[in-house]
């Protein structure tokens, strides 16, 4: 494919994404399947262009005088990301019969004008939705710029070594033999990190296929550690999704006890049984709808609640632009319902672990404050105390009463965690 044809393909992928609110990786995979002639380098270049647009969408749109069509955003990305002038961009657009076509006069005028985002509009140069500014500024304060900049970078690939089958040193050595350089994660004792951009097709390796590692960000691994699950416990994973935390909990519990994985959308649990078998996690059982679950009280109810996903914008930059106030409100309602359901399922001496991959106060501290108003017999167990009493080594900076992990500060996805327990009489 010519460079011009690659630009046209990126416009096509973005058009499909915006029309269907589709995830970038799925849209790119679907395009690749329907365009078999595209080689690996072509698909990589198209993907890079799409992700550049998604990560720097506000800058690209600003350069094109606010125009947010897929074509305008790709043109803006050539100016913003590649620092090309109008003439060079026009040459690319004319590059062969499958290229997007020459610049219009309006496009040329937009690309030729001086373009400096207003200093009072940080959401433009930091590329986040304007309507979320107050929440993000409240959460991050003086760290807003550095954290938003970190969320616009590519994320590393983190692995969790399955303690039921392997040790980190063994996996590190095997990865090196497979030509993949990895290092121990900073905080999670079973975590390994592969640098951003490394060509590591982990899902094709024996170390993954045999269940000795799972793909899981370090922040997600830390939420399981903060839960403090012990062998013999009964743990209810109330919004388990594909079950990554259920598998991590099984390893932490040495495969002794009981883990009940639930999700209001049963299809999300479809692959968990197969994943559990691969991991050797025999204590995990799938139980469908959490609101119809009937079981003995649990020692731990884990609520990995549906949320905005604002902490994962490094991996899923499209989530910034598909989130709406209405969606955020629906997530908050679901979070509150799940927390209330957790109370009903928790034993007299049990605890609730509430986690969201979000940086927004309304999904973190604000949600917990409302919970404590509804349930005054519950309190927050300080995350830093849990770390010091149960874990060793350096603690993430984002630990205090709550855990708020962030990419710039802790080198993880953004994650909020609160551990709740009954107040002592």
pLDDT of res. 17:
93
For residue 109, CA distances in Å to 6, 61, 67, 75, 114 come to 24, 14, 13, 12, 10
pLDDT of res. 330:
97
What percentage of the chain exceeds 70 in pLDDT? Answer: 99
Alpha-carbon distance of 36 to 38, in angstroms, equals 5
Confidence band, pLDDT 50/70/90 cuts, at residue 303:
very high
Burial of 215 (C-beta count, 10 Å sphere; 0-12/13-18/19+): middle
- Full DSSP string of 377-388: TEEEEPHHHHHH
For residue 78, give the H/E element and its range.
Answer: helix 70-80
- Beta-carbon contacts of 286 under 8 Å, excluding residues fewer than 6 positions away, are 240, 261, 262, 269, 272, 273
Model pLDDT for residues 246-279, shown as the tens digit of each residue: 999 999 999 999 999 999 888 888 889 999 999 9
For residue 423, CA distances in Å to 300, 388, 408 come to 15, 21, 34
Most confident segment among 202-206, 256-260, 295-299: 256-260
Region 6-19 average pLDDT: 95
Region 8-30 average pLDDT: 92
Count of CB atoms situated within 10 Å of the CB of 420? 23
Quote the strand ranges of 92-170, DSSP E.
157-161
338 pLDDT more than 90: yes
Confidence band, pLDDT 50/70/90 cuts, at residue 425:
low
| R_g of the chain computed on alpha carbons | 23
- Helices and strands, counts by H and E, the chain: 20, 12
Residues 235 and 300 sit within 8 Å (Cβ to Cβ): yes
Residues 419 and 383 sit within 8 Å (Cβ to Cβ): yes
199 pLDDT more than 90: no
392 pLDDT more than 70: no
Alpha-carbon distance of 317 to 311, in angstroms, equals 10
Region 159-168 average pLDDT: 97
pLDDT of res. 197:
73
Domains of the chain: 3-114 (no CATH), 157-210 (3.30.70.1170), 218-422 (3.40.50.150)
87 pLDDT more than 80: yes
Confidence band, pLDDT 50/70/90 cuts, at residue 36:
confident
| β-strand pairing of 346-356 with 298-304 | parallel
390 pLDDT more than 90: no
Alpha-carbon distance of 22 to 319, in angstroms, equals 9
């Amino acid at each position: 494919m010519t460079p011009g044809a690659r630009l046209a393909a990126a416009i096509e992928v973005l058009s499909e994404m915006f029309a269907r609110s589709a995830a970038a990786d799925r849209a790119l995979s679907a395009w690749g399947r329907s365009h078999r002639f595209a080689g690996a380098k072509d698909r990589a270049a198209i993907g890079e262009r799409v992700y550049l647009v998604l990560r720097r969408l506000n800058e690209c749109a600003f350069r094109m005088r606010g125009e947010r069509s897929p074509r305008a955003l790709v043109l803006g990305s050539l100016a913003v990301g590649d620092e090309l002038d109008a003439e060079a961009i026009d040459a690319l657009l004319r590059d062969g019969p499958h290229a997007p076509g020459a610049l219009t006069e309006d496009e040329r005028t937009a690309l030729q004008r001086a373009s400096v985002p207003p200093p009072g509009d940080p959401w433009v140069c930091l590329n986040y939705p304007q309507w979320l500014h107050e929440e993000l500024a409240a959460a991050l304060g003086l760290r807003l710029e550095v954290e938003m900049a970190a969320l616009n970078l590519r994320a590393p690939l983190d692995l969790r070594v399955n303690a039921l089958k392997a040790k980190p040193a063994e996996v590190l050595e095997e990865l090196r033999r497979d030509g993949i350089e990895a290092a121990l994660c900073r905080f999670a004792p079973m975590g390994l990190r592969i640098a951003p951009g490394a060509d590591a097709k982990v899902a094709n390796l024996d170390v993954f296929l045999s269940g000795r590692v799972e793909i899981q960000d370090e922040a997600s691994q830390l939420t399981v550690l903060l839960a403090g699950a012990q062998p013999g416990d009964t743990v209810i994973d109330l919004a388990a999704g594909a079950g990554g935390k259920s598998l991590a909990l099984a390893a932490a519990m040495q495969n002794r006890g009981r883990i009940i994985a639930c999700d209001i959308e049963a299809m999300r649990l479809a692959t968990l049984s197969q994943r559990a078998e691969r991991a050797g996690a025999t204590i995990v059982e799938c139980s469908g709808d959490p609101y119809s679950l009937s079981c003995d009280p649990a020692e731990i109810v884990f609520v990995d609640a549906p949320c905005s996903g604002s902490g994962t914008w490094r991996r899923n930059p499209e989530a910034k632009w598909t989130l709406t106030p209405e969606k955020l409100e629906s997530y908050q309602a679901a979070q509150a319902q799940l927390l209330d359901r957790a109370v009903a399922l928790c034993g007299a001496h049990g605890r609730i672990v509430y986690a969201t991959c979000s940086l927004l106060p309304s999904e973190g501290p604000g949600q917990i404050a409302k919970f404590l108003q509804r349930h005054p017999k519950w309190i927050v167990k300080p995350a830093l105390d849990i770390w010091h009493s149960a874990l060793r080594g350096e603690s993430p900076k984002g630990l205090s009463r709550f855990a708020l992990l962030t990419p710039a500060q802790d080198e993880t996805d953004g994650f909020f965690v609160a551990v709740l327990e009954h107040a002592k009489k």
